Amino acid sequence: MKWLESRQGELLPVEYFHVVFTLPEAVARIAFYNQQTVYGILFRVAAETLLTIARDPKHLGAEIGFFGILHTWGQNLLHHPHIHFVVPGGGIGPNGQWIPCRPGFFLPVRVLSRLFRRLFLQALGRAFENKQLVFFGELAPLQDETAFRRQLDSLRETEWVVYAKKPFGGPQTAIQYLGRYTHRVALSNNRILGVSQGQVTFQWKDYRGKDRHKSRTMTLDAEEFIRRFLIHTLPPGFQRIRYFGLMANRHRRQSLALCRSLLTGPQDELLPSPVQCQFVWRMLTAPPPRQCPQCRSPILIRIPLPPDTS
């Protein structure tokens, strides 16, 4: 795949992190009827959250770069909008130096969650004021400004999920992830177990339940299966993979070249110093230690035997 080959050429020799931003159910319902607007807000605000917290000297204190992938489905094919971000573990500091993350730790998810919630609700409120949102069915009462503001107030008290998954490790692990994940559709063929008598049976996992990794089966009428699958058709022209920070399209090549130069360092920094060379030379030219005349083992120590008193 051409896209995957291009990403492989952009990998840095650092640990990679996987951060997921998820919309609460109440916001996901609004997004269902306002995909272009709300999905756009989700991308912008989640990226701004990562960039802002990473710049904070209390956390990383660096400019970072990353890309995000929008998914709109859960395992049961219902509407579940969330973005997966793939982030190199470090960035460029204010003095032009490379600042790495702590091993196995990127940014505090609680801090990310709080800022994400605040920025998203502010943006959603502005979209309402600019008449960019529409409401149908059970959401029709939200057309009233008082009802909408009340909804925003309740969402300020809701926990917003920002999940930092286990780090990828090195760049090769990241590229293996990209190969099976970035261009995934809502349901792959190998999860469909059977189609018969107007019904479709497929495999799924309930990640919110107790046995989150246990495989289950679900059978739906064909019409409902098709309805759920088509939910995840994005608006025409919507870009579901986007790049931010150092990896933004307009300066990605220059930023990656700078990152590589900072991570690699000049060649003379890889050579031993004159002091180190002199030390090694003295070790190599020093007289050989006393050896055992039989086995030639070094560091022979002569210990005088006590006098024979017999």
Query: Residue 91 corresponds to which tokens in the numbers above?
Result: 């960035």
Residue keyed to tokens 């059978």: 219
Is the alpha carbon torsion for 261, 265, 266, 267 positive or negative?
Answer: negative
- Inter-residue long-range contacts of 31-38, CB under 8 Å, 24+ positions, other chains counted: 31/79, 31/81, 32/79, 32/231, 33/134, 33/135, 33/136, 33/139, 34/127, 34/132, 34/133, 34/134, 35/234, 35/235, 35/238, 36/235, 36/238, 37/127, 37/132, 37/133, 38/81, 38/124, 38/127, 38/133
Asked if 232 and 70 touch (Cβ cutoff 8 Å), the reply is: no
138 three-state secondary structure: helix
How many Å from the N-terminal Cα to the C-terminal Cα in the chain?
A: 90
Please, which residues bridge with residue 87 across strands? 17
Under 8 Å CB-to-CB from 78, ≥6 apart: which residues? 228, 231
Asked if 232 and 73 touch (Cβ cutoff 8 Å), the reply is: yes
Cα 169 → chain centroid: 11
pLDDT tens digits in sequence order for the chain, 310 residues long: 666 667 777 888 888 898 999 999 999 999 999 999 999 999 999 999 999 999 999 999 999 999 898 999 888 888 999 999 989 999 999 999 999 998 888 899 999 999 999 999 999 999 999 999 999 999 999 999 999 999 999 999 999 999 887 767 666 676 666 666 666 677 777 788 888 888 899 888 887 666 666 788 889 899 999 999 888 888 999 998 899 999 998 888 899 989 988 988 654 444 556 666 666 566 656 665 566 666 666 555 566 666 666 5
Query: Where do the domains of the chain lie?
Result: 2-186+235-264, 188-230
Fold topology of 2-186+235-264 = Replication Protein E1; Chain: A, (3.40.1310)
Which stretches of 89-142 are assigned E, i.e. beta strand? 90-92, 98-100
Whether this model's pTM surpasses 0.85: no
Asked if 279 and 286 touch (Cβ cutoff 8 Å), the reply is: no
